[in-house]
Every structure is written in C-alpha cells, then in structure tokens.
Copies of this chain bind each other. A is one copy, B any other.
Amino acid sequence: MFGIGDFARHGRVSVRMLRHYDAIGLLTPALVDPASGYRHYRAAQLGELNRILALRDLGFGLEQIGTLLRERVEVAELRGMLRLRRSELAAAVAADAARLSRVDARLRILEQEDAMSGQDVVVAALPAAHVAELSAVAAGFAPEEIGPVIRPLCGRLGRLLAESRIQPGGPMLAYYEPSAEDDTVLVHAAIPVPAAAAGDGLAFTELPAVAQAAVLVHHGSMDGVLASVDTMARWIDGNGYRMAGAFRELYLQVGEDESEWVTELQQPIIPVGAGRQ
C-alpha cells in the first residue's frame, strides 16, 4: 500500500488529481483511514490510474471515462465513442488549421500595409428575408454610376412603404446583379416586410439565405466605398475564399450628413476548392 504522495509519484500525477478522481468516484483509494482520512492505494491501482490517463490522453472527459470504466460498455459502443471522438478531433484540427491560416493572412496583410487597417472582416451567415423591392438598371459598378440609380430607388421605396402602411422588419438594403451579357448592373432597393404585406408599385420577393458571407462595416459616404470593397476583396482572396453571389449593402444608419452613414457590406463567399454553389 502506498500513501497518496508515493502513489502520485509512481503514477506521475499530482496529489490534487488523485483527490479529485476520488471525489468524483473515478479512482477510489483501496483504503481510507476512518480516523485521519488518509488515503491508501494498492500498487495494482496504478493499472487503473493508467487506464484513466490513457483515455484522458485520447481527449475523453472524466465523466465519459467514468462511464467507460464502470459500465462495462460493449465493444460496439466503445467503437462508437472512439469514432465520435475521432470526428470531434478532426473537426478541432480543421478549425485550428483554419484559424492558423487566418493568422497567416493577417500577417501577410500586415507586411503589405504596415498597420492595422481600420476595418475588420467577419464571416457570417445571412438569413433569408421576405422583402419589398424596387429595381432599375445602372450602367456599371462605379459609385458614380450606382449612386444616381440606387438613391432615388431608396427614396421611392420608402415613400411607397409609408403609403402602403407597411411596417418594415429591418433596415433598407441594396443588392446588385451584374448582367450576363454586358457591363450593366441590375440594382435592387429592398426592405424586409411581413409575409402578408402587399402594396401598389412594389415587387415582393424572397432574398435567399447565405451560408457564408464576408461582412464589413463601412463608415461615411458611399463615395468612399471602393476602399472598403477593396479591403474586403483582398481579405476574401487572402483567406482562401472566393465570391459567390450578389453583393449586398445594408443601410444601418443614414441621414442628412453622409459622413455619418454606416453601411454593412455583405459579399457571399465559398471556400476555394468547394464545388459551385
């Protein structure tokens, strides 16, 4: 029989761990002195301890280990637990590897720009939305081509909505679909509305959900949006994604003073190497 100190030394664990394993019923000392509370372990219990350490080493939690030790699990069940653990570990490895490549991308951008740019890109899911919208065609993607089209569209959308007494379900947004034939762009001004909403002069449609979009908050006038779009494009490229879907703008704050505007830019993406959407 070993005292807890000797047993811990032979088992290469801390005394605290042995007390903890005792407390949760994972490894009970062979003998506990009723008077002093001193714990005593048999040499053979080193085998039990090693079983615990081996399972912990595979990444199982102590509770699961307890189940494995006590309940004499069948081989099939053990195999199932190991396979689950395997897939969890594979997921963890993939997640950390992705993190790692994002850190690398950050370092590369830092080389180029020699400073933290003011804006940060985040990947997010975009939910589907039922919207009321107005559409028009612009000659191209340049701000001076888009602006004169989207602005009046938004104004009209707002007025029509008020006339139809529809309560909007969120801020106004725009999305852009390039023509397949020429350089023109189909511009949409849209706003979330309840499913039952109806109104003269408005088109109602479903904006599809997007699993992954690069998202960036743009501050100030839309005249300066190109810099933000460029930041986002380089982030997408540097992090192993590519654009896959219509670009959107969400108008979080608008008003008289355009320098106070806040817009969220949203670009649907998919990982490079994945099949077409």
Closest 5 CB pairs of A and B: A43-B253, A43-B262, A54-B120, A89-B100, A47-B217
Q: A86-B103, A93-B96 are in contact. List 14 more A-B contacts (CB 8 A).
A: A10-B252, A10-B264, A46-B262, A47-B118, A47-B119, A47-B262, A57-B99, A58-B103, A75-B116, A86-B100, A89-B99, A90-B100, A93-B93, A96-B96
Binding site for B on A (CB under 8 A): 10, 12, 42-44, 46-47, 50-51, 53-55, 57-59, 75, 78-79, 82-83, 85-86, 89-90, 92-93, 96-97, 99-100, 102-104, 106-107, 110, 114-116, 118-124, 215-217, 219, 252-253, 262, 264
- Main SS of chain A's interface residues? helix
Query: How many Å lie between the Cα of A43 and that of B42 in the bound state?
Result: 65
Which residues of the partner chain B approach A50 to less than 8 Å between Cβ atoms?
A: 119-122, 215-217
CA distance A55 to B110 in the complex (A): 14
User: Are A75 and B110 within 8 A (Cβ)?
Assistant: yes
